[in-house]
Copies of this chain bind each other. A is one copy, B any other.
Amino acid sequence: MTKPRSRRGGGRPTIADVARKAGVGAITVSRALRAPERVSEDLRRQIQAAVDELGYLPDPNARALASARAEVFGVLVPSLTNSVFAEVLRGIYDSLSDSSFRIQLGNTHYSGLEEERLLQVFGPQRPAALIVAGIDQTPISRRLLETAGCPVVQVMETGPDPVDMMVGFSHFDGGRAATEHMIEMGYRRIGFIGARMDPRSQRRLAGYRAAMEAAGLFDARLITTTPVPSSVTLGRELFRDALAKVPTLDGVFCNNDDIALGVLFECHRASIAVPKTIGITGFNDLDMMEVAFPSVTSIRTPRYEIGRRSVAMALAAIAGKRPQEPVVDLGFELKRRESTAR
């Protein structure tokens, strides 16, 4: 005569309660909820009535345990305050908001080690999909992704060797296009200014370098970088450094828009004419670049779209319909504005 453990769950209705009330087996309730087309019209209605009456909500933990699969998307980004990733996240959230998937977000702080730790935490939970920023995972992270047993989408960049799927664009090409534009506009001593040189920044720099070399304009002294996290403040300081180092500087390609804004403000403060004396190009094309005075040339990147697309691909894969092409390049767009209109 064992008395039941008095509902350690705290008394909320379970699937058995619904089944009893609807006069069916528990498994039929389960099916009615997850695959309604496999239950007759009649029972479906009865079950729905019981669910509504009891206010039944399935326990996601029990579900995850029984099916060895949690309705969770694991998302790993290197930064929460960088508005670039915020936009990607927004795309992810918007695409998932009318599904029953929950989102578990991890912040890697641009650290491979932290990424490994987070994957280790996410893995045992058996997420439905993983979305990770970047394509330069450590070998350990890569193995964790490969053995995660769920669709994986690497976002922000494209590359030759996806773990599973990829959505992004070429940062190298972006850097090159920005630089070629400045050369075309007549700038010659074009500096590169970059903070927190993560792999994507490195590739933009490589694109810059390729363009400068092709034009016979490359000079290592034109490059000013720091591992410090990016900020508008830092943009100003790096620009000062760059100008001190190369007084003949006549343009800057900034690793991102924060930096570009810092440069712009410093030009105002020091009464340096933009675009006449100094041309400025940013990267990402944040909303404010168009409004700035003068408006700032930038590379528009498809951040929101990357988020949406990554979810679409993951959902397709979950549904067993893997996309034909696992690597999607969403491209970018050069926005020519006043800051380079010499």
Q: What per-residue 1/0 map shows which CB atoms of A249-262 lie under 8 Å from chain B?
A: 00000000010011
In the assembly, what is the distance between CA of A64 and CA of B66, in Å? 12
Contact B232 A287 (CB under 8 A): yes
Q: Is A189's CB within 8 Å of the partner chain B?
A: no
Q: Given B65, B83, B236, which contacts A59 in the complex, CB threshold below 8 Å?
A: B65
Residues in B with CB closer than 8 Å to A265 are 288, 291-293
Contact A81 B70 (CB under 8 A): no
Q: Which residue of B lies closest to A58 (CB)?
A: B124
Q: Which residue of B lies closest to A12 (CB)?
A: B124
Q: Is A204's CB within 8 Å of the partner chain B?
A: no
Q: Is A331's CB within 8 Å of the partner chain B?
A: no
Given A62-B65, A65-B61, A103-B104, also A80-B89 (CB < 8 A): yes
Given A60-B124, A61-B126, A62-B65, also A90-B81 (CB < 8 A): yes
Shortest CB distance A7–B (Å): 9
Residues in B with CB closer than 8 Å to A126 are 61
Q: Is A162's CB within 8 Å of the partner chain B?
A: no
Residues in B with CB closer than 8 Å to A233 are 287-288, 290-291
Given A58-B124, A287-B231, A293-B265, also A104-B107 (CB < 8 A): no
- Copy number in the complex reads 2
Contact B93 A232 (CB under 8 A): no
Q: What per-residue 1/0 map shows which CB atoms of A181-197 lie under 8 Å from chain B?
A: 00000000000000000
Q: Is A199's CB within 8 Å of the partner chain B?
A: no
Shortest CB distance A27–B (Å): 16
Given A80-B90, A105-B105, also A61-B287 (CB < 8 A): no
Given A93-B80, A105-B103, also A61-B290 (CB < 8 A): no
Task: List the interface of chain A (C-beta within 8 A of B).
Answer: 8-10, 12, 57-62, 64-65, 68, 70, 72, 80-81, 83, 86-87, 89-90, 93, 97, 100, 102-107, 114, 120-126, 149, 231-233, 235-236, 258, 261-262, 265-266, 268-269, 287-288, 290-293
